[in-house]
Amino acid sequence: DTEVTQTPKHLVMGMTNKKSLKCEQHMGHRAMYWYKQKAKKPPELMFVYSYEKLSINESVPSRFSPECPNSSLLNLHLHALQPEDSALYLCASRKGAGYEQFFGPGTRLTVL
Amino acid sequence: GESVGLHLPTLSVQEGDNSIINCAYSNSASDYFIWYKQESGKGPQFIIDIRSNMDKRQGQRVTVLLNKTVKHLSLQIAATQPGDSAVYFCAEEAGVQGAQKLVFGQGTRLTINP
């Protein structure tokens, strides 16, 4: 199994809503990532978890809250988002530094 | 600083021709590089990678070249097909031990003309 899965595929939410994005991998990878990607731009790193501990937070606003419940799962909790947060949110995982990163298909988020 | 860039934002080639996509990086200490392909509406797909102790690596129809002297990376796609149309990103390993991350270039959109 060389797949990273993400749910939901699409999400529309209001600025007062609370929602969560989910990511799962069963490759035994110990590094997991959240990226944000705007149209015609490269993926922009948000968070990195290494061995279930947050190792990088790229100064992401607190309205985005990551969680790594176990080595296979990664969540991104969303609260009080802004319309400019609308983007494709990508999850990725890899064995570790110096190895390829596998991306999920992404969640297309629209904030109204 | 850490920056990865691409020389051309768009590239258009005839079906069957070879394509070359270029990438410049600035961190001479980087030791790992990756190329990704991203089709519309999908997540980036791994194509090929190369470590700094190599100059060239080949895959199926793709070759990555690394020139550490001028800090340049290129992706060659042989006999391009319509399915090769996508945005291609290079990425460079950056960061300190225990907190490594990939830094992505701006991307090149490859269009294959019939």
Q: Is the pLDDT of residue B7 over 60?
A: no
**Taking chain A, what is the end-to-end CA distance rounded to the nearest angstrom?**
36
pLDDT in tens, B59-112: 999 999 999 999 999 999 999 999 999 999 999 998 877 778 899 999 999 999
Average pLDDT, chain B: 90
Q: Which of A41, A100, A105 sits opposite B43 (nearest CB)?
A: A105
| Nearest-CA distance A3 → chain B (Å) | 11
Amino acid at A82: Q
- Determine the pLDDT at residue B1: 31
Q: Which residue of A lies nearest to B94 if distances are taken between CA atoms?
A: A97
**pLDDT for res B98:** 74
| pLDDT bracket for residue B5 (50, 70, 90) | low
User: Could you report the per-residue pLDDT of A35-82, keeping only the tens digit for each?
Assistant: 999 998 999 999 999 999 999 999 999 999 999 999 999 999 999 999
- pLDDT score recorded for residue A90: 98
User: Does the pLDDT of residue B4 top 90, yes or no?
Assistant: no
**Model pLDDT for residues B17-58, shown as the tens digit of each residue:** 999 999 999 888 899 999 999 999 899 999 999 999 999 999
CA–CA separation, A17 and B4 (whole Å): 36
Q: CB-side exposure of A73: number of CA atoms within 13 Å? A: 10
Cβ contacts of B37 on chain A, cutoff 8 Å: none
Higher-pLDDT residue of B4 and A35 is: A35
Quote the pLDDT of residue A97.
Answer: 87
Interchain proximity B49–A100, CB inside 8 Å: yes
Q: Which of B95, B105, B97, B90 is nearest to B46 (CA)?
A: B90
* Least CB–CB distance from A43: residue in B44, B49, B93: B44
**Looking at CA atoms only, how far is residue A81 from chain B in angstroms?**
22
What DSSP character marks residue A9? S
Q: List B49's β-bridge partners, or say none.
A: B34
Phi first, then psi: give them for residue A85, nearest 5 degrees: -85, -5
More confident residue, A24 or B1: A24
pLDDT over threshold 60, residue B8: no
- pLDDT for residue B94: 85
- Are B68 and B74 in contact, with CB atoms under 8 Å apart? no
Nearest-angstrom CA–CA distance, A45 and A57: 9
How many whole angstroms separate alpha carbon B88 and alpha carbon B6? 10
Pair B91, B33: CB distance under 8 Å: yes
Q: Which tens digit of pLDDT belongs to each residue from A6-24?
A: 999 999 999 999 999 999 9
Which chain B residues are closer than 8 Å to A30 by Cβ?
Answer: none
